[in-house]
Amino acid sequence: MTQAICIVGYSGSGKTTLIEKLVPALKEKGYRIGTIKHSRHDVANDKPGKDSYRHKAAGALAVILAGPRRINLVKEMDDPSPSDLLPYLDDMDLVLIEGFKHAPYPKILVVSRAAGPMEAIRLTQVAALVGPPVEGADLPCFDRDDIRRLAEFIEERFLN
């Protein structure tokens, strides 16, 4: 089963930036990394007039557009959870999930000075904090620029 970690935090806390830095750091260690991004808005990546769009408009519940090096999947799903999506990434060593803070997966909480670590009190399975040092934190805390150390923590804790 593919290992998954949720990267969670308030909007604007730096979750996407952290993932942008973590992916290459973990790939450099030889791991195959996938990501899932949660959005509260309806998403679409197909264009009117294209054949795949026409398939979907005709009533297909799922359409895969396959090219020589990439696929795009458009599939109707009611409020999918990470467990609904992870099977599509089963060939990855690790999937970093941005958001889904209440999903039953280990979490890395990105904190800011303004918000502090209080969010961790309401979450389960928080494995580490990323952000400014948090006095009295009972969790490993990583500086948001020390990606090497955070990648080593993820490797030791979740990939070995």
In a domain, 59, yes or no: no
Report yes or no on 90 lying in a domain: yes
Q: What is the residue range of 147's domain? A: 3-43+79-159
Q: What is the pLDDT of residues 103-116, one digit of tens each?
A: 999 999 998 765 55
99 versus 106: the higher-pLDDT residue is 106
In a domain? residue 20: yes
Identify the residue with better confidence: 112 or 142. Answer: 142
Give the pLDDT confidence score for residue 137 in this predicted structure. 73
Helices (H), the chain: 15-28, 51-57, 82-85, 119-122, 147-154
Q: Does residue 57 belong to any structural domain of this protein?
A: no
Which range is least confidently modeled, 43-57, 89-103, 134-148?
Answer: 43-57
3-state secondary structure of 80: coil
41, pLDDT greater than 80? no
* Residue of 11 and 26 predicted with greater confidence: 26
Task: Please tell me the distance from the alpha carbon of residue 15 to that of residue 138, in angstroms, as a whole number.
Answer: 21
Would 140 be classed as within a structural domain? yes
Judge whether 70 lies within some domain. no
CATH number for the domain including 111? 3.40.50.300
Residue 73 lies in a domain: no
Residue 74 lies in a domain: no
Q: Is the pLDDT score of 45 beyond 70?
A: no
Count the domains in the chain.
Answer: 1
